[in-house]
Structure 1
């Protein structure tokens, strides 16, 4: 079980002192069966009041408030976690969902809410047509379908790091033929939702000791991926 230390630092610098508004941060990892949080520490300069809360998905949210002006805002989070996930995980699928299409239970449909509904306008049905090409037949193996979509994104879209804020829409990524990991994730998630599957975006870090994977810099890089329910 590898123990990983994550240091995340962000610094903002201003030409003159400014009044700092509330800062909302999601830096504390959420524990799962494959990830155990050992230690977490959050340091902010200038001194701030930190209020903790949880969002609707159970993520820990820190909101920092300030009583002074400053020409610098520095945020540093230090995390230590134990990872127990296998290098090549096997993803078991519930028997009732092993073949696509399948129906969510009424309770699951309620809990998933908009996560199972497309988030972007696709009036001409371009994205629907694109993802439908991966459905070889009905019924078809669900995991194989998801793998085919993921491989299709990887094969058709070139990776390109972007420093600009936000994400590209799925059709924008298809038209450009390139995107960052978060653009890949948006495209994959929206494709899954178009097929009626519940999907959400997840952000975190790549555990890559060798630092030789596409999109990495050093032994750890921020990353975005998708979870499908």
Structure 2
């Protein structure tokens, strides 16, 4: 518990208890199966919040996401993390890339889209990956780049350009996913 301490604290103030009350609605009884509860909360986020692409900076608070009923993958991840933290779980935000060559999952704008999801620490099982945007458990198609307590600490791409606007037209980021053996041979 010493190591998980800060990861058990909610990142956003829930002074009215709205998030905790929302989260409690997923608790089936006492006792409740841990994995089933976490899956239900993850599915609940996707079931009650509509996915939207949001290019603006910053992340919505969990209360704002619930009130709006819409959010991006980072909003889904933050809502899920603070929800499970309200129940005492240690959780963290993960930022990276969503590998979706068929482009059939939410949050995908190509085979290497930036994406945010969550990990929850479950005693005796370790860190379990939850992607509430896509209602998935496990990270077979997720490529982590940054893991932190707060979403502000996991921004995958940030920066600015100072200079003549005519010198900078745009920036593109490309992510190639390939088998390890192919990666080694391409570096030679």
In structure 1, the partner of 2:130 is none
The CA deviation at 1:180 is 0.3
Match of 1:184 among 52, 56, 76: 76
| 2:115 is equivalent to residue 217 of structure 1 | no
Residue 31 of structure 2 is matched in structure 1 by 139
RMSD (Å), alpha carbons: 0.8
TM-score (normalizing by structure 2): 0.63
Rg (Cα) greater in structure: 1
Q: Secondary structure at the match of 2:38?
A: helix
Tell me by how many angstroms 1:122 deviates. Answer: 1.1
**How many residues are aligned here?**
121
Structure-1-length-normalised TM-score: 0.52
Which SS does the other structure have where 1:129 is aligned? Answer: helix
Give structure 1 stretches of 5+ with no counterpart. Answer: 1-108
| Higher normalized contact order (CA 8 Å, seq sep 6+, divided by chain length) | 2
Name the counterpart of 2:53.
161
Matched, 1:196 2:75: no
Query: Which residue pairs with 2:62 in the alignment?
Result: 170
Alignment of 1:1-229 (within 5 A): 109-229=1-121
Cα distance in 2 between the residues matched to 1:132 and 1:213: 28
Which structure shows the bigger proportion of residues in helix conformation?
Answer: 2
